[in-house]
Structure 1
């Protein structure tokens, strides 16, 4: 099995007394320039044109967590202001500061004043703005309109439907979709080299697959696995699955084979053994089982019956149903679907 055995390099996050050593890797390796931002080349190119022409509009970055929204706007701010970054940018997390008082006091005060001896506009970054109350959003709308000559706003949100139409209409929207696997791989490889992580290639592939386009998740899992591994030990794919609490694909295949081929009692015992031995919840098994079903060559009617039945099991489980009963229901769904194969 190939391994990526990289020795720590001097000067890359290993200096004694370096404050960065105590940071989580998602912060330690957060991009500082637009060139460092992984993926989203089209968005970066458009923003560069705005910056070069000095016509940056109000911005709305939206999309799933871990896709680079905050990193992108902070890189834009550093590119715009350089060493004067702290004086020209007001950064607020709206999930903490989301009331109308914050808008009227902090944001209005910052937006209404000009910075002495500095040309250009200031920047207000509102992270997780979809958590703001409607009253706060309505107050923000007027501030954006009134002080637009010397202040720009960047709204960051996971869901646009939680923002008022008035806010949406005042911003140029950019959707940050899940990051491509190869883009995440490039950034993770950089961290692996910088931190001297020993990780097998199957483990790296498993890490990227579990990240599902979320850079933050990939780096957090990598750091957790590296911290948990004994010194000099290579991280395996099993370590990655155990760290995330995700079922091992080999266990899911064993479970599915038993349900499809063994009689009922044996199948129940196999599922129970895997659940107890690996400490898995039925909800985790259902999600992995649905992915495994997508890889099996069966008739469309069988696949539809399986997915529809598993969705019902997941719904009942989430509504407080007994895990023991729903485990039997899961086995019943798979066996009943096989009857459609004839």
Structure 2
């Protein structure tokens, strides 16, 4: 701190507590909002055209879904899918990103709405056998519910139950850690 020099640097820190105090005290914090799906799609289309990446529309939709408004994540998912498979479609994207396919989650939700609990459970059990964590499944249920066509009161109930499950899981994990010797 005794020697002063000028340094112009741009850094990306997702968690400010991970950078040192002297750096934090001299930096300006810029917070960016999540990008809209159309903004991400426009940039992805430019990239795949310029780079000659073969893709399907459902592949780009899958990238947008998995990116959750983060362009960096969208580009990483695009590059990983193309590098791994040479073709960008929804099946390949969800394999690379290791997320439950939203079509399965939509089908499960539709079974719940129609009171076909056994069929909904079969899909949930299938996702479990594929190795998806409960957090991944609940997270996708929450994200799919936000855009699923259903009565508003049902949508709110699904979101409320999903939130309660997440809260219970987090609290249960916290309590288990506190009680373990």
Answer whether TM exceeds 0.5 for this pair. Answer: yes
Alignment correspondent of 1:123: 8
- Distance in 2 of aligned mates of 1:280 and 1:306: 20
Does residue 110 of structure 1 match 2:18? no
CA offset at residue 229 of structure 1? 0.9
Larger Rg: 1
Residue 191 of structure 1, aligned match among 26, 42, 47: 47
Alignment correspondent of 1:306: 158
| C-alpha distance 283-186 of structure 1, shift in aligned 2 (>3 A) | same
CA offset at residue 216 of structure 1? 1.0
CA offset at residue 297 of structure 1? 2.4
Alignment correspondent of 1:255: 108
- TM-score of the pair, normalised by structure 2: 0.74
Q: Which segment drifts farther, 124-133 or 303-312? A: 124-133
- The 5-angstrom pairing of residues 290-305 of structure 1 reads 290-294=142-146, 295-300=148-153, 302-305=154-157
Gaps of 5+ in 2: 174-181
CA offset at residue 207 of structure 1? 1.2
Alignment correspondent of 1:66: none
Alignment correspondent of 1:209: 65
**Count of aligned positions:** 170
Q: CA RMSD in A?
A: 3.0
- TM-score of the pair, normalised by structure 1: 0.43
- Distance in 1 of aligned mates of 2:79 and 2:95: 14
Deviation digits for residues 202-234 of structure 1 (CA, Å, limit 9, x no counterpart): 21122123222211111111111111115xxx3
Gaps of 5+ in 1: 1-103, 112-121, 142-154, 158-173, 322-342
| C-alpha distance 224-156 of structure 1, shift in aligned 2 (>3 A) | farther
Q: Secondary structure at the match of 1:109?
A: coil
Name the structure with the higher helix share: 2
Does the 8 Å contact 2:105/2:141 carry over to 1?
yes
